[in-house]
Amino acid sequence: MTPPGETPPTTPPTTTAPDVTPPATTAPDVTPPATTAPGVTPPTPSAPTLTKLDPEAIPESCASLAKAADATSINRALSARISLAGCLADAGLKTLVLCDCAQSVQEIDTVTELSRVLFDEAISLGDATTQILARRAKGDLLSNLATRMVATVPPPRDASPEAIALHDSRVDILSALLQPWQLAARVEYEELDKTARANPQLAKNPAVAAAVRASRDRLAATQGVAKR
């Protein structure tokens, strides 16, 4: 108890010492850069691997193109493979007896399989010029296959409504089978056009200019058919 007239003592406030912990520091990264051991040559990217051609499966009419298709120069080899693909397709199609049926579509797919592989190889590995020429050749092949198959539908036996209806029915059935070729051809022409627009300097190349014109004509024709 505090006597009368005296001021009670006051307790000084408690103070907290400031935090003087030094900030954490990160040791510098002293990992030495990776080096190649002396005398060891770093690996170099390997050359593109092209489809191996079986000489026994190449028709005599395409033999010279097949030989050029194995040239050491990748551009020369791909150029020859575009020509070889067309030659192989022509040779294979000559062996077929076609009808307006699914079996003929399957047979055509089989005999032109290697041709389509060679075209795709030129498209994926070639420069812009090679891509344009390969896409034009592949698109033309697919378009021509569809046209060839449409021609297998026999005409109406007479002018009767029944004969005409039968003919139209066969055309419709066949058209459904040919649609994958037609769509794939359109894709090739569209991609060709994109490549040409991205490389306007190639317009001076006569082969490229001809391919671009032809593909645009094909595209215009298919658009006209689609609008009917």
pLDDT (0 to 100) of residue 30: 52
- Opening angle at CA 131, ends 129 and 133, nearest 5: 70
| pLDDT band (50, 70, 90) for residue 31 | low
> Is the pLDDT assigned to residue 198 strictly greater than 70?
yes
Q: Do 134 and 123 form a contact (C-beta atoms < 8 A)? A: yes
Range of the domain at 86: 55-226
Q: Distance between CA atoms of 139 and 218, rounded to whole angstroms?
A: 9
Is residue 38 situated within a structural domain?
no
Is residue 45 situated within a structural domain?
no
Is residue 87 situated within a structural domain?
yes
> Is the pLDDT assigned to residue 13 strictly greater than 60?
no
pLDDT (0 to 100) of residue 166: 96
> Is the pLDDT assigned to residue 227 strictly greater than 50?
no
Is residue 32 situated within a structural domain?
no
Is residue 17 situated within a structural domain?
no
Count of structural domains, the chain: 1
Q: Of 1-15, 39-53, 72-86, 164-178, give the lowest mean pLDDT range.
A: 1-15
Is residue 93 situated within a structural domain?
yes
Mean pLDDT value across residues 98-106 = 97
Around Cβ 180, how many Cβ atoms within 10 Å?
A: 13
Q: What is the mean pLDDT of the chain?
A: 86
Is residue 28 situated within a structural domain?
no
pLDDT (0 to 100) of residue 223: 72
| pLDDT band (50, 70, 90) for residue 228 | very low
Is residue 191 situated within a structural domain?
yes
Q: What percent of the chain has pLDDT over 70?
A: 77
> Is the pLDDT assigned to residue 35 strictly greater than 70?
no
Q: Distance between CA atoms of 219 and 190, rounded to whole angstroms?
A: 8
